Structure 1
Amino acid sequence: MARRDGGQASPDGGQAPEARIERLLGARVERLDDLGSSHSWTLHRAALADGREVFAKIAHNRSGVFAAEAAGLRWLAEAGDGAPVPEVLGADDRLLVLPWIRSGGATRDAAERLGRELALLHTGARPDAFGAPWDGFIADLPLDNTSDAGPWPRWYAERRLEPYLRRAARHLSADGVRLVERVLADIDELAGPPEQPSRIHGDLWSGNVLWTDARALLIDPAAHGGHRETDLAMMALFGTPHLDRIIAAYDEAAPLADGWRARIPLHQLHPLLVHVVLYGGSYGSSALEAARAALAARP
């Protein structure tokens, strides 16, 4: 639905979306298309008087979600030229604006390019610690980004698995909670060889990969210094086009440690616990299956 309401008040009593975008970018909005909603924000496509088209996410309640997303995109871009993330045009506590990106098909050539660029993202300009210097979010749920030199297994257990196990416990059986607690207890054995922190997207399911005609760009990050296998495991969780080509190109550019495939369930356990918290017990069996697989892959 396209609309232009002349800057009337929005339903929450604040500025209309057009006025917010104009204030942030300094350009008049000539057309605004409503694209629906996601979590606690609405989505829009705007045509500006200066000829640009932009994508805007607008929240009706102040939170740190957009500040974290903007910080994450800018930080990922610091990995170097070719980092596969869009430019942040503007952000505040209720608004995030990115360039409008025309989507295309997921081609094998674009997939190979994504593999190489993801390897660059993970290995270029590595951070000094796990975590990030901003409060984290995944969807609109909080993530503890407390910076820590590591090792990664302890950081992952304390900052990702344990907090979400507490929140998900009411949807899991007592035996299920104990199963995940075994993963926490054995995390050092299950995590594989030590890894330096990498700049990772942190929520790299297929819906956050935006394919254009020439390449893929990564959007909606939960960016932080983490383990690079986490992004690859997330891409496998709900299926990503041409994943085999992505992995092959990635592994050629930045070889993965032996046994990485067996560790995929360990890295998928956190996003599955997030889904239990967001959507209830329907994801409980998947989370517990990942926990069992992680334990079964013990070297």
Structure 2
Amino acid sequence: MARMSWHEACHLDTTLQSVAHFFPLPPEYAQTLTGGLTNRCWKVVSQKGKAYVWRPTTAITKAFSISRLQEHQILKAIEPTHIGPKPEYISDQGLLVEWVEGASLHHGIDFDSLLKIQTKIHAIDATKIPVVPFSFSARIDHYWFQIKDNLKTPEFEKLYKAWRNPPGLTNVGSSLCHFDLAGYNMVRTDEGLKVIDWEYASIADPRMDLALSIDVAGENPVKAIARYCQLREIEDIDPWIEGAQAWLPRTTVMAMLWYLLAFQLWGDEYYYHQALKIKETFCS
């Protein structure tokens, strides 16, 4: 992470200028954050020592269909739960949130602890969050249509077409979903575990969110879903097992297209190899 003066940071990233009037005095310094894949955010420290995170709106966030306004609406709605960072300021250039002080769980968290946080998130009253519900087909199409033809091999196209529609499932209702819940987006604080980076969050089938977390953690789906249902005191677990397993290949293909698009945008071979790895898993 590179630390620099506020003036220098504003010169490097002009979106920071839109938040300057939030501070009574120019911040003491700004520091680039390298943790996120999608976002290239800044830690901003005021003259009084209070720290914030600036989450800019960029061509990259638009490419991935990320709305800082939606992120702000979600953080504002869940503020009383203290699960996420407090939103401080929103503009057309980005979102300013509080810096969550604590120990990053980037190197892992036991899955049971993660499930306990996930059940808390899914239990939040989603009807009070003023955002448009998530559309799986719209999101996966959004990724696909931006990818250039030279990357659209027949194998990638076959997987996209095979899994672009949501499964027909027993309805279990919609919930607030984080859509990137893993140790790298969790912080252990004095108040307990907190979840950061809500940029992909939306209102959706909670089984999709569960499938994503199971896949990232490499957990046994049936055991993980049974434990989730136990935590939520859900007795009829069959629709949840069937649903999460039906979502797994679809969310995996969505991740594959995310990596392809990320490779196109950044040119980093790592993203292309991840997309190939997912494709080969399906082919095998």
**TM-score, length basis structure 1:** 0.66
Deviation at 1:198, TM superposition (A): 1.6
For the 8 Å contact 2:6–2:29, the answer to whether it is kept is no
Q: For residue 228 of structure 1, what is the aligned residue in structure 2?
A: 206
Deviation at 1:20, TM superposition (A): 4.6
Letter in 2 for 1:195: V
Among residues 244, 251, 260, which one is paired with 1:276 in the alignment? 260
Are 1:103 and 2:102 an aligned pair?
yes
Q: For residue 251 of structure 1, what is the aligned residue in structure 2?
A: 229
Among residues 208, 212, 217, which one is paired with 1:239 in the alignment? 217
Q: How far, CA to CA, are the matches of 1:63 and 1:265 in structure 2?
A: 25
Are 1:3 and 2:20 an aligned pair?
no
In structure 1, the residue corresponding to 2:241 is in which secondary structure?
Answer: coil
Q: How far, CA to CA, are the matches of 2:25 and 2:110 in structure 1?
A: 33
Q: For residue 215 of structure 1, what is the aligned residue in structure 2?
A: 193
Greater CA drift, 100-109 or 23-32: 100-109
Bigger proportion of residues as helix: 2
Deviation at 1:221, TM superposition (A): 2.2
Q: How far, CA to CA, are the matches of 1:119 and 1:40 in structure 2?
A: 25
Greater CA drift, 226-235 or 37-46: 37-46
Q: For residue 163 of structure 1, what is the aligned residue in structure 2?
A: 142
Deviation at 1:200, TM superposition (A): 1.3
Q: How far, CA to CA, are the matches of 1:182 and 1:128 in structure 2?
A: 35
Greater CA drift, 38-47 or 88-97: 38-47
Q: How does 1:1-299 map to 2 (within 5 A)?
A: 1-4=2-5, 10-11=11-12, 14=14, 17=16, 20-35=18-33, 42-58=40-56, 68-75=67-74, 78=77, 81-82=80-81, 84-104=83-103, 106=105, 112=112, 114-127=114-127, 132-133=131-132, 155-157=135-137, 159-168=138-147, 170-184=150-164, 187=165, 190-212=167-189, 214-239=192-217, 250-254=228-232, 255=234, 257-260=240-243, 262-263=245-246, 264-279=248-263, 281-288=272-279
What is the aligned length?
Answer: 265
Q: How far, CA to CA, are the matches of 1:202 and 1:115 in structure 2?
A: 13
Letter in 2 for 1:288: K
Letter in 1 for 2:143: Y
Deviation at 1:115, TM superposition (A): 2.7
For the 8 Å contact 1:206–1:238, the answer to whether it is kept is no
Q: Deviations over 1:181-239 (max 9, x none)?
A: 2334xx46x45322322221234354333444631313142122212122222223443
Deviation at 1:88, TM superposition (A): 0.8
Q: How far, CA to CA, are the matches of 2:222 and 2:241 in structure 1?
A: 17
For the 8 Å contact 1:127–1:225, the answer to whether it is kept is no
RMSD between superposed Cα atoms in Å: 4.4
In structure 1, the residue corresponding to 2:256 is in which secondary structure?
Answer: helix
Letter in 1 for 2:213: M
Q: How far, CA to CA, are the matches of 1:6 and 1:162 in structure 2?
A: 40
Greater CA drift, 93-102 or 202-211: 202-211
- Does the C-alpha gap of structure 1 residues 74 and 110 become closer, same or farther in structure 2, counting only changes over 3 Å? farther
Q: How far, CA to CA, are the matches of 1:62 and 1:209 in structure 2?
A: 23
Q: How far, CA to CA, are the matches of 1:221 and 1:271 in structure 2?
A: 15
Q: Which runs of 5+ in 1 are unaligned?
A: 134-146, 149-154, 294-299
Q: Percent identity?
A: 12
Deviation at 1:87, TM superposition (A): 0.8
- Does the C-alpha gap of structure 1 residues 208 and 170 become closer, same or farther in structure 2, counting only changes over 3 Å? farther
**TM-score, length basis structure 2:** 0.69
Q: Which runs of 5+ in 2 are unaligned?
A: 265-271
Q: How far, CA to CA, are the matches of 2:28 and 2:178 in structure 1?
A: 33
Q: Deviations over 1:233-259 (max 9, x none)?
A: 222344389x99986764323345133
Letter in 2 for 1:232: L
Q: How far, CA to CA, are the matches of 1:221 and 1:63 in structure 2?
A: 9
Q: For residue 268 of structure 2, what is the aligned residue in structure 1?
A: none
For the 8 Å contact 2:3–2:29, the answer to whether it is kept is yes
- Does the C-alpha gap of structure 1 residues 232 and 289 become closer, same or farther in structure 2, counting only changes over 3 Å? farther
Q: How far, CA to CA, are the matches of 1:109 and 1:181 in structure 2?
A: 35
For the 8 Å contact 1:27–1:50, the answer to whether it is kept is no
Deviation at 1:114, TM superposition (A): 4.4
Greater CA drift, 225-234 or 210-219: 210-219
